[in-house]
Amino acid sequence: MPRSNGFTATGRGLEVSQEDEKPETGGPSANRVLRPYRAQVAGVLAAAFTLSLAYSVVVTFTGSHEGYGMTDPALWVFYAVGYGLAALTLTDRIWAWWATAAGVLALIAVGIFYYPTIFPPGAQTAFAWFENDVYVGLLILAEYFCVQRLRGVSLVP
């Protein structure tokens, strides 16, 4: 099979594998741990929204961004939807993958096009830049896994 960037695409599988190099157990193939896309995407989305939630809590307590904080009900809805998308992937149903892919794509668009209008560069701190960049990066990774799952591609090192 052709290899590219440490991964091999292998047809219609639904899993991502990771290997641990432990010579005492018989080499890399004996240590392959398969992680289904549903677990990968749920974990990545949970990490993205936990980072965002941590940022929101810090901003709420420090008051570093006027008019933004955990007292806004829309923010609670946002996190409910985000964690809901993570939970939805665990069902591993095709409609759930389409819904998650569409939802994550919309969140990426919001992070790129809308977020800068409400948080101009003057309002950003180092933590805010870090949170935004890592959050959007995790969303992009989740979207990539969603697309690969919908394509039926398995990533194997």
74 or 88, which is more confident: 88
At 157, is the pLDDT very low, low, confident or very high (cuts 50, 70, 90)? low
**pLDDT at residue 30, rounded to an integer:** 54
pLDDT in the model for residue 16: 52
CB 102 within 8 Å of CB 139: no
Domain boundaries, the chain: 37-151
Q: What is the pLDDT of residues 20-75, one digit of tens each?
A: 444 455 555 556 666 789 999 999 999 999 999 998 888 888 876 666 777 888 88
**Percentage of the chain modeled with pLDDT above 90:** 46
Look at residue 73 in the predicted model and tell me its pLDDT: 87
Quote the pLDDT of residue 21: 45
Average pLDDT, the chain: 80
Averaged over 70-94, what is the pLDDT? 91
111-139 pLDDT, tens digit each: 899 888 877 777 778 888 898 899 999 99
AA identity, residue 44:
V
Burial 101-133 (b: 16+ CB within 10 A, else e): bebbbebbeebeeeeeeebeeeebeeebeebbe
> Do 28 and 35 form a contact (C-beta atoms < 8 A)?
no
Nearest CA-CA partner of 144 in 46, 53, 44: 44
- 103 or 1, higher pLDDT: 103
Res 108: pLDDT: 96
Confidence (pTM): 0.76
